[in-house]
A = this chain, B = another copy of it.
Amino acid sequence: MTQRIYNFNAGPAALPLPVLEEIKQEMLDFAGTGMSILEISHRSKPFENVLNDSIARVKRLLGLSEDYQVLFIQGGASLQFSMIPMNLAIAGKPLDYVDTGTWSTKAIKEARLLGKDVRVVASSQDKEFTYIPSEVPVDGKAAYLHITSNNTIRGTQWRAFPDAAGLPLISDMSSDFLSRRFDPNPFALIYAGAQKNLGPAGVSIVILRKDMLARVPKELPSMLRYTTYAENNSLYNTPPCFAIYVCDLVLKWLEETIGGLEQMEKINDQKAETLYGCIDSLGFFRGTARADSRSRMNVTFRLPTPELESKFLAEAGAAGLGGLKGHRSVGGCRASIYNATTMEAVRALVEFMKDFASKNG
């Protein structure tokens, strides 16, 4: 029979088991069409229902006003690093970025590659990106202010967003999208690769405030213009239908099984507190992010020696706890506890950590 592990992957990551079971159950015949979801036309009513249902669910979950449009775009957050400055820059105005590591750094690099006037207005590079800057200077002369809400690699997360004072705020929320409540209204654009909290790899969600569409240059390639997606309900060309379908199932699970963002946030807080509590209490593990900047999605930690880390990862894997290796750029250990990672999985990890500490401490 199927033996499922406890999956702490950083992304692609665990999906809710009922979602996987539903995909499996209807793989040969989607919604009575006599076809797989992989085989139906993107211009058919059954697919249009999937697309519109997922958009409506995102709007409800986040409480988005009619000022916002929800788009699905291929290419991951990495393509958004370029599309944002291509579409939303304004001649003569600087683009302001906060650098909280890796993904912010890449977003900055891509904006500069386009020849834009990019300013890094705050950074935590001085301490290896282990914290979130508390002071962010906001300059009304900028075209926008870009932040990265959660850093999967360093395990840091903005607990409160900076007050952008009316400046269009843009956030990469790939790794904590729909994990907690927040006020969407200061944001001009929110983007997220699906493969953490939303669905499988292969689609990104882009939530755009409609006033931003006026900035989009007409001479951009069709597939790189936000207007193309906005005017065609993300159906200008064939979208990644299956990925959107899985997102819809995950959104349905989040709304109907979990009960929405307030409930999801409670569960995520409980998971994070349990895991950080274990790290802080045992005196064996060491959290790598500054306490006030700790991510509730990616819990990064070290053991006393690299040898113990290797042993920990090997024994955890053998015990059915997977995906605990830190990112190759920083090493150490990391437990990603996205929405679909259950409290049961966290408890199993904590029990394993206690046991490992007592045997090796």
Contact = CB atoms under 8 A, between A and B. Distances in A.
A193 interface: yes
Nearest to A11: B238
User: Interface residue tally of chain A, by bracket?
Assistant: 35 or more
B238 A35 contact: no
A107 to B, nearest CB: 11
A269 B224 CA distance: 39
Nearest to A243: B202
Given A4-B28, A33-B5, A34-B3, A223 B78 contact: yes
Contact of A79 (B200, B202, B223): B223
Contacts of A224: 82
B21 A38 contact: no
Contact of A12 (B10, B238, B323): B238
A94 interface: no
B24 A38 contact: no
Contact of A4 (B29, B82, B110, B238): B29
A56 interface: no
Interface string A230-256: 000000111111110010000000000
Interface string A108-137: 001001110000000000000000000000
Contacts of A239: 201-202
Q: Quickly give the copy total for this chain.
A: 2
B4 A241 contact: no
Interface string A19-55: 0110110011100011110111111000000000000
Q: Report which residue of A23, A35, A40, A199 has the largest number of chain B beta carbons within 10 angstroms of its beta carbon.
A: A35
Given A74-B240, A78-B237, 7 more contacts: A10-B41, A11-B41, A15-B39, A41-B323, A81-B223, A110-B222, A240-B243
Interface of A: 2-5, 7, 9-15, 17, 20-21, 23-24, 27-29, 33-36, 38-43, 74-79, 81-82, 86, 110, 113-115, 193, 195, 199-203, 219-224, 236-243, 246, 320, 322-323, 328
Q: What are the 7 A-B residue pairs with the smallest beta carbon separation, nearest first?
A: A202-B240, A5-B34, A82-B221, A74-B74, A24-B27, A78-B237, A38-B200
